[in-house]
Amino acid sequence: MKHTNEEELFAYREGEMKGRETIAAHLRECGECRAELERMEEVFQALNVLPVPDPGEEYGTRVWRQIANRLPERRMNWWAGFFMPRRLMALVAAAALLILAFYVGRKTGPKAGGEETVDASKVRERVLLVAVGEHLGKSEMILMELSNAQPAEAGKSLINISTTQKRAEDLVEENRLYRQTALNGGDNAMASTLDELQRVLLDVANSPAEVTAAQFESIQKRIAAQGILLKVRVVRQELRTQEAGSRPAPAQNDSTAKVRNKA
């Protein structure tokens, strides 16, 4: 009878599915291997006896006192508040309304009888479609650059990804906002793609500025494994189609300064 080796027993204990049935069957028959598994289990039980000192109830307050003076000041510019997620939503909505008025004034002009019909939601949607489309375009560039780079050609032990990393960092906050907007709007497919994109962007943003060839390859593999580049392309294409569909028919009248000024 062939006994299970230590590695197989460990994999079995860890819940590994490969060969699980065979090992389980063997363990039922073989007392020696069962005893071996029990001895392995004792190591994990022994880990539990390791004491960790209780830092005390006030520990959090103590940590705060130790670090508070070392935290850099977060100076907010007067406009920076607008870029907080909630406020930015309001900003986008406001911008959409302004564009709406401007757009209506320029392209459609006043309707017969002087009534101005505006479809705020459509215009706002279009603004968002364009913005998200641009965001996905920038993300796609980063993903393509990383996927197509040849680490071997660098000829160095470390690869500097700081430039790409900076760009990924810049896109993280933006991506988060669009993901939230998609969720709020009930567009779960878009939210899911942006969620996956967020992980890849964070992955790149949090990597060291200089990575080894193996680490770089690992980033490439993660991008490839998730198929995120393809997903981004597909969503981007869909957005382009939607955006073309939401574009209004060519204007029939000349623009009117009157409406634009009103806006």
Alpha-carbon separation of residue 148 from 139, 142, 143, 145, 199 (angstroms): 14, 10, 8, 5, 19
Q: What tokens were used for 210?
A: 């200089």
Count residues near other proteins (CB under 8 A): 52
Query: Which stretch in 46-54, 143-151, 231-239, 242-250 sits in contact with other proteins by CB under 8 A?
Result: 46-54
Q: Name the minimum Å distance from CB 94 to other proteins.
A: 19
Q: Name the minimum Å distance from CB 131 to other proteins.
A: 18
Contact by Cβ (8 Å): 91, 244: no
Q: Rounded to an integer, what distance in angstroms lies between the CA atom of residue 255 and that of residue 90? A: 28
Q: Rounded to an integer, what distance in angstroms lies between the CA atom of residue 155 and that of residue 223? A: 23
Q: What is the chain's Cα-based Rg?
A: 29
Q: What tokens were used for 46?
A: 């022994």
Select 84 or 120, whichever has its Cβ closest to other proteins. 84
- From the number of C-beta atoms within 10 Å of its C-beta (0-12, 13-18, 19+), residue 202 rates as middle
Q: Rounded to an integer, what distance in angstroms lies between the CA atom of residue 41 and that of residue 37? A: 6
User: Which one of residues 192, 198, 246, 255 is an interface residue with other proteins (CB under 8 A)?
Assistant: 198
The residues that bridge with 212 in the sheet, in sequence order, are 158
Q: Rounded to an integer, what distance in angstroms lies between the CA atom of residue 58 and that of residue 68? A: 15
CB atoms within 10 A of CB 55: 10
Q: Print the binding letters for residues 224-253 with other proteins: x by CB under 8 A, - otherwise.
A: ------------------------------
Our finding on whether 158 is near other proteins (CB under 8 A) is no
User: Which one of residues 3, 5, 10, 156 is an interface residue with other proteins (CB under 8 A)?
Assistant: 10
Select 108 or 207, whichever has its Cβ closest to other proteins. 207
Q: Name the minimum Å distance from CB 181 to other proteins.
A: 12
User: Which one of residues 2, 7, 148, 157 is an interface residue with other proteins (CB under 8 A)?
Assistant: 7
Our finding on whether 43 is near other proteins (CB under 8 A) is yes
Which parts of 84-103 interact with other proteins (CB under 8 A)? 84-86
User: Which one of residues 27, 40, 89, 158 is an interface residue with other proteins (CB under 8 A)?
Assistant: 40
The residues that bridge with 210 in the sheet, in sequence order, are 160
Which parts of 174-193 interact with other proteins (CB under 8 A)? 176, 179-180
Contact by Cβ (8 Å): 255, 107: yes
Contact by Cβ (8 Å): 92, 125: no
- Residues lying near other proteins in the complex (CB under 8 A): 6-7, 10-11, 14, 39-40, 42-44, 46-47, 49-53, 55, 59-61, 63-64, 66-68, 70-76, 81, 84-86, 169, 172-173, 176, 179-180, 195, 198-199, 202, 205-206, 215, 218, 221
